């Protein structure tokens, strides 16, 4: 059975992108949670529960922030805290409304 060059290239690209996606997903899942005591977290008034922050406006949380990279997960990456996860229910002063 022979395989065409075009089929080989398409299959290789599909497998490569799947591996890259799974690698990124697994890296985020293994990242530690950011602590409220972390100096960077303190600098932006991060709290793991937005309801506990007097500065957070109703409806603001990491889950609906443009910087949150966790999708619908209970925790995920954030552009502010590289290599760490934040709680989706959290909040910080860098909160920005998701476009759309």
44-66 residue pLDDT tens: 999 999 999 999 999 999 999 99
- Considering the domain architecture, whether residues 21 and 63 belong to the same structural domain is answered as no
Domain of 23? 1-30
- Considering the domain architecture, whether residues 46 and 16 belong to the same structural domain is answered as no
- Considering the domain architecture, whether residues 58 and 92 belong to the same structural domain is answered as yes
Enter the pTM of the model: 0.70
The CA distance from 30 to 75, in Å, is: 11
- The count of domains in the chain is 2
DSSP-assigned states of every residue in 8-28? HHHHHHHHHHHHHHHHHHHHH
- Considering the domain architecture, whether residues 5 and 43 belong to the same structural domain is answered as no
- Considering the domain architecture, whether residues 21 and 37 belong to the same structural domain is answered as no
Q: Give pLDDT, residue 100.
A: 75
Whichever domain contains 48, its CATH number is: 4.10.490.10
- Greatest CA separation for the chain: 67
Q: What angle do CA 9, 14, 18 make, to 5 degrees?
A: 145
CA-wise closest residue to 84 among 65, 72, 68, 60: 68
- Considering the domain architecture, whether residues 25 and 58 belong to the same structural domain is answered as no
């Amino acid at each position: 059975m022979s395989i065409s060059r075009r089929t080989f290239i398409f299959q290789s690209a599909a497998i490569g992108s799947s591996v890259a996606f799974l690698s990124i997903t697994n890296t985020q899942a293994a990242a530690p949670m950011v602590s409220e005591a972390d100096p960077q977290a303190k600098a932006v008034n991060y709290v793991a529960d937005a309801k506990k922050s007097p500065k957070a406006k109703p409806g603001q949380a990491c889950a609906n922030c443009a910087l949150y990279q966790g999708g619908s997960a209970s925790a995920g990456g954030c552009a502010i805290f590289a290599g760490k996860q934040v709680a989706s229910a959290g909040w910080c002063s860098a909160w920005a409304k998701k476009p759309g």
